Amino acid sequence: MQLSTINKLCCPFDKQDLKLQILAQDTQHNILEGLLTCNTCQRVYPIVYGVPIMAPDEYRQMALEQPIIERWKLEYQLEHIKLIPDSDHSAEQLAAGSR
């Protein structure tokens, strides 16, 4: 994924901007592995083999995403990463943002 693509992406949950954390790039500076994080709802979307995995919550396949995140925690010394925040917490933040 090219860096210029990030500016065109938003969180599928609340349509807010995403923060990029690059974990691996190729020689042309394309992003191979990384994390896109929404500061508003706290959802985390992995970038795997250059493809951002940004499905809505009900279509996310945690059984496939979680092992990748666990590997990255070890490989890149990442802190605690939670792909989907507690539902009460994200609903409160979304409601606060709409006020």
Confidence at residue 85, expressed as pLDDT on a 0 to 100 scale: 85
- Give pLDDT tens digits for 18-28: 999 999 999 99
Q: Is the pLDDT of residue 9 over 60?
A: yes
- Joined together, the tokens standing for residue 57 give 């919550």
> Could you tell me how far CA 9 lies from the centroid of its own chain?
11
Helix (H) or strand (E) holding 84: none
Q: Is the pLDDT of residue 57 over 80?
A: yes
Domain residue ranges in the chain = 3-97
Confidence at residue 95, expressed as pLDDT on a 0 to 100 scale: 46
pTM: 0.80
Ramachandran assignment for 77, one of left (phi > 0), alpha (psi -120 to 50 degrees), beta (any other) = left
Confidence at residue 43, expressed as pLDDT on a 0 to 100 scale: 95
The pLDDT-based confidence of 81 (bands split at 50, 70, 90) is confident
Confidence at residue 87, expressed as pLDDT on a 0 to 100 scale: 66
